[in-house]
Structure 1
Amino acid sequence: MSTRLAALPYRHVLTLPALPSAVRMARETAEQALTQWGIGLRHPAVDPALLILSELVTNSVRHAAVLSPQLTVIYAAGRDCLAFAVHDRHPYRPPLVGGAGGGLATVMELTQGLGGTAVVRGDADKRGKSIWITLPL
Protein backbone atom coordinates (compact mmCIF):
# COMPACT_ATOMS: atom_id res chain seq x y z
CA MET A 1 0.00 0.00 0.00
CA SER A 2 2.80 2.48 0.75
CA THR A 3 4.05 2.20 -2.85
CA ARG A 4 0.58 3.01 -4.11
CA LEU A 5 0.30 6.00 -1.72
CA ALA A 6 3.72 7.27 -2.72
CA ALA A 7 2.60 7.25 -6.35
CA LEU A 8 -0.41 9.52 -5.76
CA PRO A 9 0.26 12.78 -7.62
CA TYR A 10 -1.74 15.13 -5.41
CA ARG A 11 -0.74 15.87 -1.80
CA HIS A 12 -1.47 18.43 0.85
CA VAL A 13 -0.36 18.57 4.50
CA LEU A 14 -2.11 20.59 7.19
CA THR A 15 -0.95 20.99 10.79
CA LEU A 16 -3.53 22.22 13.29
CA PRO A 17 -3.78 22.82 17.02
CA ALA A 18 -5.57 19.93 18.75
CA LEU A 19 -8.68 22.01 19.38
CA PRO A 20 -12.33 21.41 18.41
CA SER A 21 -11.99 23.95 15.58
CA ALA A 22 -9.51 21.55 13.90
CA VAL A 23 -12.41 19.36 12.76
CA ARG A 24 -13.95 22.16 10.69
CA MET A 25 -10.59 23.31 9.32
CA ALA A 26 -9.59 19.78 8.29
CA ARG A 27 -12.91 19.25 6.54
CA GLU A 28 -12.87 22.62 4.75
CA THR A 29 -9.29 22.03 3.63
CA ALA A 30 -10.28 18.61 2.27
CA GLU A 31 -13.12 20.16 0.27
CA GLN A 32 -10.78 22.80 -1.17
CA ALA A 33 -8.09 20.25 -2.04
CA LEU A 34 -10.55 17.86 -3.67
CA THR A 35 -11.99 20.66 -5.77
CA GLN A 36 -8.50 21.80 -6.84
CA TRP A 37 -7.63 18.22 -7.76
CA GLY A 38 -10.71 17.89 -9.97
CA ILE A 39 -12.63 15.56 -7.65
CA GLY A 40 -16.20 16.81 -7.53
CA LEU A 41 -17.77 17.25 -4.11
CA ARG A 42 -20.77 15.26 -5.39
CA HIS A 43 -18.66 12.16 -6.03
CA PRO A 44 -20.23 9.29 -4.03
CA ALA A 45 -17.05 8.76 -1.97
CA VAL A 46 -16.67 12.39 -0.87
CA ASP A 47 -19.38 12.72 1.81
CA PRO A 48 -18.37 9.46 3.53
CA ALA A 49 -14.69 10.48 3.26
CA LEU A 50 -15.42 13.82 4.92
CA LEU A 51 -17.32 12.07 7.71
CA ILE A 52 -14.44 9.63 8.24
CA LEU A 53 -11.97 12.52 8.32
CA SER A 54 -14.13 14.41 10.82
CA GLU A 55 -14.32 11.36 13.11
CA LEU A 56 -10.55 10.81 13.03
CA VAL A 57 -9.75 14.46 13.77
CA THR A 58 -12.37 14.49 16.54
CA ASN A 59 -10.74 11.43 18.10
CA SER A 60 -7.32 13.08 18.05
CA VAL A 61 -8.71 16.23 19.64
CA ARG A 62 -10.61 14.29 22.33
CA HIS A 63 -8.11 11.61 23.19
CA ALA A 64 -4.62 12.71 22.15
CA ALA A 65 -4.50 16.45 22.87
CA VAL A 66 -3.18 15.89 26.39
CA LEU A 67 0.10 14.60 24.88
CA SER A 68 -0.18 16.03 21.38
CA PRO A 69 -0.98 19.75 21.21
CA GLN A 70 -0.96 19.55 17.41
CA LEU A 71 -2.24 17.10 14.85
CA THR A 72 -1.39 16.74 11.20
CA VAL A 73 -3.72 15.82 8.38
CA ILE A 74 -2.22 14.44 5.18
CA TYR A 75 -4.38 14.44 2.07
CA ALA A 76 -3.48 12.57 -1.13
CA ALA A 77 -5.31 11.61 -4.29
CA GLY A 78 -4.90 10.20 -7.73
CA ARG A 79 -7.13 9.35 -10.65
CA ASP A 80 -8.74 6.39 -8.89
CA CYS A 81 -7.80 6.75 -5.22
CA LEU A 82 -8.29 9.12 -2.30
CA ALA A 83 -6.15 8.76 0.82
CA PHE A 84 -5.78 10.72 4.01
CA ALA A 85 -4.21 10.33 7.40
CA VAL A 86 -4.56 11.95 10.77
CA HIS A 87 -1.36 11.97 12.82
CA ASP A 88 -0.89 12.82 16.49
CA ARG A 89 1.85 12.27 19.05
CA HIS A 90 -0.11 10.14 21.51
CA PRO A 91 1.30 6.60 21.72
CA TYR A 92 -2.02 4.75 22.02
CA ARG A 93 -2.82 2.83 18.83
CA PRO A 94 -6.57 2.15 18.76
CA PRO A 95 -7.80 -1.14 17.34
CA LEU A 96 -9.59 -0.62 14.06
CA VAL A 97 -11.35 -3.98 14.11
CA GLY A 98 -12.88 -5.98 16.88
CA GLY A 99 -12.48 -3.52 19.74
CA ALA A 100 -13.25 -0.44 17.67
CA GLY A 101 -16.21 1.38 19.13
CA GLY A 102 -17.97 4.71 18.76
CA GLY A 103 -16.52 6.90 16.04
CA LEU A 104 -13.94 4.31 14.98
CA ALA A 105 -16.68 1.76 14.39
CA THR A 106 -18.34 4.29 12.08
CA VAL A 107 -14.99 4.93 10.36
CA MET A 108 -14.51 1.23 9.73
CA GLU A 109 -18.07 0.65 8.56
CA LEU A 110 -17.87 3.51 6.04
CA THR A 111 -14.36 2.62 4.89
CA GLN A 112 -15.18 -1.05 4.33
CA GLY A 113 -18.53 -0.18 2.74
CA LEU A 114 -16.69 1.85 0.11
CA GLY A 115 -14.14 -0.91 -0.51
CA GLY A 116 -11.38 1.05 1.19
CA THR A 117 -8.68 0.23 3.70
CA ALA A 118 -7.70 1.56 7.11
CA VAL A 119 -4.43 1.08 8.93
CA VAL A 120 -2.77 2.46 12.05
CA ARG A 121 0.93 3.19 11.60
CA GLY A 122 3.02 3.87 14.67
CA ASP A 123 5.84 6.40 14.63
CA ALA A 124 9.36 4.94 14.70
CA ASP A 125 9.85 6.27 18.25
CA LYS A 126 6.55 4.67 19.37
CA ARG A 127 5.32 8.03 20.70
CA GLY A 128 2.73 8.78 18.03
CA LYS A 129 0.69 7.28 15.23
CA SER A 130 -1.14 7.94 12.00
CA ILE A 131 -4.43 6.44 10.95
CA TRP A 132 -4.46 6.09 7.17
CA ILE A 133 -7.63 5.70 5.14
CA THR A 134 -7.56 4.81 1.45
CA LEU A 135 -10.73 4.90 -0.63
CA PRO A 136 -11.31 4.03 -4.29
CA LEU A 137 -12.75 6.75 -6.51
Structure 2
Amino acid sequence: MTTRLDALPHRHVLTLPTMPAAVRLARETAEQALTEWGIGLRHPTVDPALLILGELVANSVRHAALLSPQLTVIYAADRDRLAMAVHDRHPYQPPLYGALAGNGTGGLATVMELTLGLGGTAVIDPDTDGNGKSIWITLPL
Protein backbone atom coordinates (compact mmCIF):
# COMPACT_ATOMS: atom_id res chain seq x y z
CA MET A 1 0.00 0.00 0.00
CA THR A 2 2.68 2.51 0.93
CA THR A 3 4.56 2.22 -2.36
CA ARG A 4 1.59 3.45 -4.40
CA LEU A 5 1.19 6.40 -2.05
CA ASP A 6 4.87 7.30 -2.32
CA ALA A 7 4.00 8.71 -5.74
CA LEU A 8 1.65 11.33 -4.27
CA PRO A 9 3.25 14.76 -4.67
CA HIS A 10 2.34 16.07 -1.22
CA ARG A 11 3.63 14.21 1.80
CA HIS A 12 4.27 14.92 5.46
CA VAL A 13 5.39 12.59 8.28
CA LEU A 14 4.89 13.33 11.96
CA THR A 15 6.16 11.24 14.88
CA LEU A 16 4.59 11.81 18.28
CA PRO A 17 4.67 10.27 21.75
CA THR A 18 1.76 7.87 22.18
CA MET A 19 -0.03 10.20 24.59
CA PRO A 20 -3.47 11.88 24.51
CA ALA A 21 -2.04 15.19 23.24
CA ALA A 22 -1.08 13.34 20.03
CA VAL A 23 -4.69 13.51 18.84
CA ARG A 24 -4.75 17.32 18.86
CA LEU A 25 -1.26 17.63 17.38
CA ALA A 26 -2.05 15.19 14.56
CA ARG A 27 -5.22 17.09 13.65
CA GLU A 28 -3.53 20.50 13.80
CA THR A 29 -0.68 19.23 11.63
CA ALA A 30 -3.20 17.82 9.13
CA GLU A 31 -4.96 21.18 8.91
CA GLN A 32 -1.67 22.96 8.33
CA ALA A 33 -0.53 20.47 5.68
CA LEU A 34 -3.86 20.56 3.84
CA THR A 35 -3.79 24.36 3.77
CA GLU A 36 -0.22 24.37 2.45
CA TRP A 37 -1.22 21.88 -0.24
CA GLY A 38 -4.11 24.08 -1.38
CA ILE A 39 -6.87 21.86 0.02
CA GLY A 40 -9.30 24.21 1.70
CA LEU A 41 -10.43 23.37 5.21
CA ARG A 42 -14.03 23.85 4.01
CA HIS A 43 -13.68 21.04 1.44
CA PRO A 44 -16.44 18.51 2.27
CA THR A 45 -13.91 15.70 2.84
CA VAL A 46 -11.77 17.59 5.37
CA ASP A 47 -13.96 17.48 8.50
CA PRO A 48 -14.66 13.73 8.18
CA ALA A 49 -10.98 13.13 7.39
CA LEU A 50 -9.95 14.96 10.58
CA LEU A 51 -12.45 12.93 12.60
CA ILE A 52 -11.10 9.70 11.08
CA LEU A 53 -7.54 10.77 11.85
CA GLY A 54 -8.44 11.67 15.43
CA GLU A 55 -10.11 8.29 15.98
CA LEU A 56 -7.12 6.37 14.59
CA VAL A 57 -4.62 8.30 16.71
CA ALA A 58 -6.86 7.93 19.78
CA ASN A 59 -7.01 4.16 19.18
CA SER A 60 -3.20 3.97 19.09
CA VAL A 61 -2.99 6.03 22.29
CA ARG A 62 -5.64 3.92 24.00
CA HIS A 63 -4.54 0.46 22.87
CA ALA A 64 -0.88 0.56 21.77
CA ALA A 65 0.92 2.90 24.16
CA LEU A 66 2.39 0.14 26.36
CA LEU A 67 4.16 -1.49 23.41
CA SER A 68 4.57 1.58 21.22
CA PRO A 69 5.91 4.70 22.98
CA GLN A 70 5.68 6.59 19.68
CA LEU A 71 3.23 6.67 16.82
CA THR A 72 3.76 8.02 13.34
CA VAL A 73 1.20 9.82 11.21
CA ILE A 74 1.72 10.02 7.46
CA TYR A 75 -0.25 12.50 5.39
CA ALA A 76 -0.23 12.41 1.59
CA ALA A 77 -2.33 13.97 -1.15
CA ASP A 78 -2.68 14.90 -4.77
CA ARG A 79 -5.48 16.89 -6.35
CA ASP A 80 -7.80 13.86 -6.42
CA ARG A 81 -7.16 12.03 -3.14
CA LEU A 82 -6.10 12.34 0.45
CA ALA A 83 -4.31 9.52 2.25
CA MET A 84 -3.52 9.24 5.93
CA ALA A 85 -1.86 6.52 7.93
CA VAL A 86 -1.34 5.98 11.62
CA HIS A 87 1.48 3.61 12.51
CA ASP A 88 2.24 2.05 15.88
CA ARG A 89 4.34 -0.85 17.08
CA HIS A 90 1.55 -2.92 18.60
CA PRO A 91 1.07 -6.24 16.78
CA TYR A 92 -2.74 -6.36 17.00
CA GLN A 93 -4.46 -5.78 13.66
CA PRO A 94 -8.10 -4.85 14.20
CA PRO A 95 -10.68 -6.22 11.76
CA LEU A 96 -11.45 -3.01 9.89
CA TYR A 97 -14.43 -4.25 7.93
CA GLY A 98 -15.53 -6.42 10.85
CA ALA A 99 -16.06 -3.22 12.83
CA LEU A 100 -19.16 -2.60 10.73
CA ALA A 101 -20.60 -6.05 11.33
CA GLY A 102 -21.61 -7.17 14.76
CA ASN A 103 -21.14 -4.62 17.53
CA GLY A 104 -20.04 -1.70 15.31
CA THR A 105 -20.30 1.01 17.97
CA GLY A 106 -16.70 2.06 18.69
CA GLY A 107 -14.31 4.51 17.11
CA LEU A 108 -13.21 2.02 14.47
CA ALA A 109 -16.81 1.55 13.32
CA THR A 110 -17.07 5.33 12.98
CA VAL A 111 -13.84 5.37 10.97
CA MET A 112 -15.13 2.72 8.62
CA GLU A 113 -18.60 4.26 8.22
CA LEU A 114 -17.09 7.64 7.34
CA THR A 115 -14.44 6.16 5.06
CA LEU A 116 -16.85 4.02 3.08
CA GLY A 117 -19.51 6.74 3.07
CA LEU A 118 -17.02 9.05 1.36
CA GLY A 119 -16.08 6.38 -1.19
CA GLY A 120 -12.70 5.77 0.42
CA THR A 121 -10.69 2.70 1.33
CA ALA A 122 -9.08 1.38 4.49
CA VAL A 123 -6.14 -1.03 4.61
CA ILE A 124 -3.89 -2.41 7.32
CA ASP A 125 -0.25 -2.61 6.26
CA PRO A 126 1.60 -4.86 8.77
CA ASP A 127 5.25 -4.26 9.58
CA THR A 128 7.51 -6.92 8.11
CA ASP A 129 8.43 -8.19 11.58
CA GLY A 130 4.76 -8.54 12.58
CA ASN A 131 5.18 -6.28 15.59
CA GLY A 132 3.38 -3.21 14.29
CA LYS A 133 1.10 -1.89 11.60
CA SER A 134 -0.10 1.14 9.70
CA ILE A 135 -3.77 1.77 9.12
CA TRP A 136 -4.13 3.62 5.81
CA ILE A 137 -7.23 5.57 4.89
CA THR A 138 -7.56 6.95 1.36
CA LEU A 139 -10.36 9.38 0.52
CA PRO A 140 -11.34 10.95 -2.80
CA LEU A 141 -11.19 14.74 -2.97
| TM-score bracket for this pair, using the shorter chain length | over 0.9
1:74-95 deviations in Å (ceiling 9; x for gaps): 0000010000100000000000
Percent identical residues: 81
1:122 is aligned, of 114, 126, 133, to 126
Give 1:51 deviation, angstroms: 0.1
Q: What is the number of equivalent residue pairs in this alignment?
A: 137
1:55-87 deviations in Å (ceiling 9; x for gaps): 000000000001000000000000100001000
Q: Is it true that 1:81 corresponds to 2:81 in the alignment?
A: yes
Corresponding position of 2:93: 93
Ranges in structure 2 where 5+ consecutive residues have no aligned partner? none
Q: Is it true that 1:112 corresponds to 2:119 in the alignment?
A: no
TM-score (norm 2): 0.94
Corresponding position of 2:136: 132
Measure the CA separation in 2 of the matches of 1:29 and 1:120: 22
TM-score (norm 1): 0.96
Corresponding position of 1:65: 65
**RMSD over aligned Cα atoms:** 1.1
Corresponding position of 1:15: 15
Aligned pair in 2 of structure 1 residues 68, 2: CA closer, same or farther (>3 Å)?
closer
Measure the CA separation in 2 of the matches of 1:8 and 1:110: 22
Aligned pair in 2 of structure 1 residues 120, 40: CA closer, same or farther (>3 Å)?
same
Give 1:99 deviation, angstroms: 4.0
Is this contact kept in 1: 2:76–2:82, CA < 8 A?
A: yes
1:22-64 deviations in Å (ceiling 9; x for gaps): 0000000000000000000000000000000000000000000
Measure the CA separation in 2 of the matches of 1:99 and 1:9: 32
Which amino acid is 2:74 matched to? I
Secondary structure of 2:97's aligned partner? coil
Give 1:4 deviation, angstroms: 4.0
Segments ≥4 residues shifted beyond 3 Å: 1-4
